Structure 1
Amino acid sequence: MPEQISVGQSLPETARRVADLLQAMGHEYPVVMLPETGRTSAEAAAGLGCSVAEIAKSIVFRRTGDDAAVMVVASGANRVDEQKVAALVGPLSKADARFVREKIGYAIGGVCPVGHVGNTIMLIDQDLLQFEKVWAAAGHPHAVFSLTPQQLVAMTGAPVADVASH
């Protein structure tokens, strides 16, 4: 089981920012620091003792028409179908690490679904709704937090969509 960091212990700066934001939102679950990296869904699931599907991974694209950031929060077991996403939000291209850091405010491997530095177009994978609880990155490759899929939808205001390759 992961080591839980209490409020008094220090978190990396970006994870502290997420913890403070979650607290301000009234979120009841703490940010948890994994002893090993949670950079990939498989690594996070192994560290948490949950299935890969219960990891809410954040995939960022660049909308080509206006350079907007498009984030898909998907089940860790799913591959995001770029064509399905593009049909909903417009033509897309891959987002590199610099684009993600500039537009979202987090480094790849720790991209949190909330607390972005700019406006982000978001979609939530409908497959996440089948779980009682999911885990999302909390701003750092070792930091995660748990929430219900309903809390994820409420916190982000993002529509739920079919975004997975099947």
Structure 2
Amino acid sequence: MPDTPSHPAVDRVAASLAAHGLAPEIVWFDGAVTTAQLAADALDIQVGQIANSLVFTLDGEPLLVLTSGSHRVDTDWLGGRLGGTIGRASKELVKEATGQVIGGVAPVGHPAPVRTLVDTALAEHDVVWAAAGHAKTVFPTTFAELVRITGGTPTAVVPESL
């Protein structure tokens, strides 16, 4: 029987998913898939089906934006909609807020809840794929499940998604 890879952050993601009644297969890749395009190519799917987990700051507090891999978050526009200023989170803040490192941040499995926005563009796909806590991992889910398990707020993250 082959050894199943293991990593503490991935184990925390799996436990969080299980706590929400989910047990999707966590897919491990041979190499890191740190961009939406790399992940989509490895899975042979559309890039828009990748749910990128991006950590920003909103007026200094962590903000997790789960965005479709088919576009970039318009931070000026989104910040205006949220009534604040969105900035880039440092790698240290990403690790502190999520317990995971940039390139493998999952929507769940964090030490404490993080305010989360879920890109409504992800609803266009029956199945979306999110990182599972490590740059070599992903798991399948749906837009509705992402909203439910993260307690996230569905929102457009770029003006053209309205």
| Count of residues in Structure 1 that have an aligned counterpart in Structure 2 | 158
| Higher alpha-carbon deviation: 22-31 or 120-129 | 22-31
CA offset digits 1:125-148 (Å, max 9, x no partner): 110001000000000000110001
Unaligned segments of structure 1, at least 5 residues: 1-5
Match of 1:152 in 2: 146
> Aligned partners of 1:29 and 1:88: how far apart in 2?
34
- Give the alignment's Cα RMSD to 1 decimal: 1.6
Given that 1:82 and 1:92 are in contact with CA atoms closer than 8 Å, whether structure 2 keeps it comes out as yes
**TM, length-normalised to structure 2:** 0.90
Alignment of 1:101-140 (within 5 A): 101-140=95-134
Name 1:84's counterpart in structure 2: 77
Which whole-Å CA distance do the structure 1 matches of 2:64 and 2:19 have between them? 23
> How far has the Cα of 1:58 moved from its partner?
1.0
Determine what percentage of the aligned residue pairs are the same residue.
34
1:165 Cα deviation after fit: 5.2
Q: Distance in 1 between matches of 2:159 and 2:137?
A: 27
TM-score (norm: length of structure 1)? 0.88
Residue 24 of structure 1 is matched in structure 2 by: 19
Cα distance in 2 for partners of 1:71, 1:13 equals: 20
* Structure 2 residue runs without a partner (length 5+): none
- Report if the CA contact (8 A) 1:80-1:165 is conserved: no
**Residues 9-63 of structure 1: CA distance to partner in whole angstroms, max 9, x if unpaired?**
2412211221122123211312110122121101111111111110000111112
The 2-side partners of 1:157 and 1:21 are apart by: 13
Rounded to whole Å, the distance in 2 between the matches of 1:151 and 1:123 is 13
2:7 is the alignment partner of 1:42: no
Is this contact kept in 1: 2:107–2:130, CA < 8 A?
A: yes
Alpha-carbon distance change, 158 to 123 in structure 1, aligned in 2, over 3 angstroms: same
Asked if structure 2 preserves the Cα contact closer than 8 Å seen for 1:70 and 1:120, the reply is yes
